[in-house]
Amino acid sequence: MAKNLVIVESPAKAKTIEGYLGKEFLVKSSFGHVRDLAKKGLAIDIENNFEPNYEVSPDKKTVVSELKKLTKEAEVVWLATDEDREGEAISWHLYETLGLEKKETKRITFNEITKSAILKAIENPRSINVQLVNAQQARRVLDRIVGFELSPVLWRKVRPSLSAGRVQSVAVRLLVEREREINAFSSESFFKVQGLFRKGKDLVKSDLNHQFANRQEAVQFLEKCKELDFEVQDVQKKPAKKSPTAPFTTSTLQQEASLKLGFSVSRTMSVAQRLYEAGHITYMRTDSVNLSNTAIEAAKKEITGQYGEKYSKPTKYQTKSSSAQEAHEAIRPTNFGLHQIEGERDEVRLYELIWKRAIASQMAHAELERTTVKIGSKNLDEVFQAKGEVILFDGFLKVYLESKLDEDEEKQDEGILPAMSTGDRMEKESIQVTERFTRPPARYVEASLVKKLEELGIGRPSTYAPTISTIQKRGYVEKLERDGEERKYAYLELKGAEIKEETRSEITGRERNKLSPTDIGIVVTDFLMDHFGRIMDYHFTARVEEQFDEIAAGLNEWTKMIHDFYEPFHDNVEDTIENSERATGERELGAHPESGKKVIVRIGKYGPMAQIGDEQIDGEKPQFASLRKEQSINSITLEEALELFKLPRTLGEFEGTEVKANVGRFGPYVQLGKLFVSLKKEDDPMTIELDRAIELIAEKREADANRMIKTFDENPDVQLLNGRWGPYLKIGKKNFKLPKDVEPKELTLEQCLEIAENQPAKKKGGRKK
């Protein structure tokens, strides 16, 4: 038996580390946290100074049992979990759960999984940093208290099964406010002028330094230009520099991977985790832009060898954020000599991005020459400007150029201009006037939301991805695909002495992967803003993060911080339950054209709905209809709401049974008896015909038949089915994973029941990988 037991969080990390240590070391994984706050109740003793009640997770009991056995056999236990607060807390929970106070226990950290880093860590062990643990405990306890006390308020006052969270609710507020800015925005048109001039064989594109408010002013300008001669009035050449950006932090990696690779925030973190655990990059949860001296030297050697000495410019970057956690490094490759790795496509692409950004950060500035040429006429107040850019020395641009979240789609690249001097005659090729429109603020994408949260000081590297995933999973935020709509615009062109005018069209408002608040997200946000303004305040949320940092630095006591927060918060909860009205987001649309009954939209038990009539006013039961997925209670019109009551539609008969089209809580569907079939994206319940419905029913029956592997006549509740992740066992409403070595078709009823007895059931519809 090995004398030394090393415990890490993940099997992949364990496998990499085991390759660097000798036979005297056994490396095992805890598979993440082994214990957490008990699931039942609050699990925090408020009266006893907020004492947390931790319990070993049911799925970790086997892991804990194995680790306890191994710790008894080992002489020294090394806790080698991640270097951040979460990692420190995992080590502390292991220490407490495994009873390591009687063993020789050492805590080691490293920010990269390389042989040299691991051996150096072994040589420099320390004890568990209780201050870091307390900072994580404070976050966990505070978030549990907020969720546990706020969520029941929402169940009573808005809708059952809702949840609220300290950071997630503030993130949704950002999206709700942006949506309202967009809805309140009124687009105005203006007229942009561009000139195309000829100098010898060369064409020069230019922009007028003035925009016109209306078509009439634009036409007057073109009329004026008909007879004018143009010349170069001024040429300015200025040297310029472009500087490389700092190596990646967690948030900048998430932003750049979104822009360059199209990754979601959670996908970026998942891929980065695999790269870290394989030993390719440094730790991926960091808000530091610092590089170690060793890394700077390694980058210098690689740059000099690959590109030459003039491309090298070793640079120390300073972290702007005062809250940057502990002495972390930026995200960088562990080996600058490895330009590319072998592996899955996502890993290859993200590694290349990290390598380029890190190596570019240590390269020389790019040297440019920027030229601005003014083209005008003696009889004209306005001036056309042509801009050009020449790269004299590419420097870091040889490797990498940063993308921008807010780049102007209409901005033209500045190319190379022909040689021009003041007084040169410029031949007017054409002058174009295009009607343009002011644009509303852009909806957030995941990456820009991370950037905004970071700017406000809300959350930390470890919380950005979970926050964004949570607000989507809980139905407060969704990613909608908007096809946009056609918009007409005026286009005028002066060529020679003739002005041509035409109406052109374009698609505006097309969006992909933009985050939008749902109706329930908006109603919950408004309710929380009305009754829990302190929790929803950006500055307050940022201040809580600062307090966690103070606890980590030993400047604040975690239970005092929780106590100061809890008393006013708890009073606020009790007052709201007692004195607030229900929130439904109700909006009156008008009166029904035939009955005169009131038509409203609101949030109901199963989501947004329309209602005709009021039982208290009309003395009869109202009619209800669910809104369609693309509709919102904030924007639906009376006419659109009335259309919903035309459902269900009877399409005809099939196999002697009526076929109906309708919309339910899970979207539009067709129904044949007890069979419900969801409509495809291209199908509309208001227009679908019987033939198409029969086609969908046949597809559903075939899919169901292929799903069934085996049933048992003596117990119809027991079924062997094909699922998304392979075969599984279903008994009643419970699902069970099958052992890897079994052939589903050959299983007997007795064997199925035995499999079910020996493992906990999975929740309905929730099969794990």
Q: Give catalytic residues, as residue numbers.
A: 283
CA distances to 432, 717, 744, 768 from 752, rounded to whole Å, are 75, 11, 9, 19
Q: For the chain, how many residues are written?
A: 769
* β partners of residue 492: 433, 501
Q: Is 574 exposed, middle or buried (0-12, 13-18, 19+ CB in 10 A)?
A: exposed
408 CB neighbour count, 10 Å cutoff: 8
Q: Which two tokens stand for residue 638?
A: 């009376």
How many whole angstroms separate alpha carbon 536 and alpha carbon 601?
26
Q: Which two tokens stand for residue 671?
A: 């129904």
How many whole angstroms separate alpha carbon 1 and alpha carbon 25?
9
Q: Which two tokens stand for residue 233?
A: 């009035």
Residue environment code for 717-747, b if the CB has 16+ CB neighbours within 10 A, otherwise e = ebbbbeeeeebbbbbeeebbbbeeeeebeeb
How many whole angstroms separate alpha carbon 99 and alpha carbon 749?
43
Question: Which residues are CB-neighbours of 694 under 8 A, at least 6 positions away?
Answer: 654, 659
Which 8-state DSSP code applies to residue 331? B
* β partners of residue 511: 482
350 CB neighbour count, 10 Å cutoff: 29
How many whole angstroms separate alpha carbon 16 and alpha carbon 115?
9
Q: Which two tokens stand for residue 84?
A: 């951040």
| Cis previous bond, 648, omega within 30 | yes
Pairing status of strand 667-672 against strand 675-678? antiparallel
Please report which residue ranges of 499-623 form alpha helices under DSSP H: 519-531, 533-536, 538-552, 558-579, 615-618
What type of residue is 69? K
How many whole angstroms separate alpha carbon 591 and alpha carbon 600?
9
SS3 264: coil
Question: Which residues are CB-neighbours of 408 under 8 A, at least 6 positions away?
Answer: none
CA-based nearest residue to 458, from 134, 172, 88, 37: 172
Please report which residue ranges of 580-614 form alpha helices under DSSP H: none
Helix (H) or strand (E) holding 729: strand 726-731
How many whole angstroms separate alpha carbon 458 and alpha carbon 437?
34
SS3 272: helix
How many whole angstroms separate alpha carbon 510 and alpha carbon 748?
54
Is residue 234 within 8 A of residue 423, CB to CB? The reply is no
How many whole angstroms separate alpha carbon 189 and alpha carbon 411?
18
The number of C-alpha atoms within 13 Å of 601 and in the hemisphere containing its C-beta is 24
Is residue 20 within 8 A of residue 121, CB to CB? The reply is no
Question: Which residues are CB-neighbours of 684 under 8 A, at least 6 positions away?
Answer: 668
How many whole angstroms separate alpha carbon 70 and alpha carbon 74?
6
Is residue 205 within 8 A of residue 211, CB to CB? The reply is no
Which 8-state DSSP code applies to residue 48? G
Please report which residue ranges of 22-129 form alpha helices under DSSP H: 61-73, 85-97, 115-123
Is residue 21 within 8 A of residue 118, CB to CB? The reply is yes
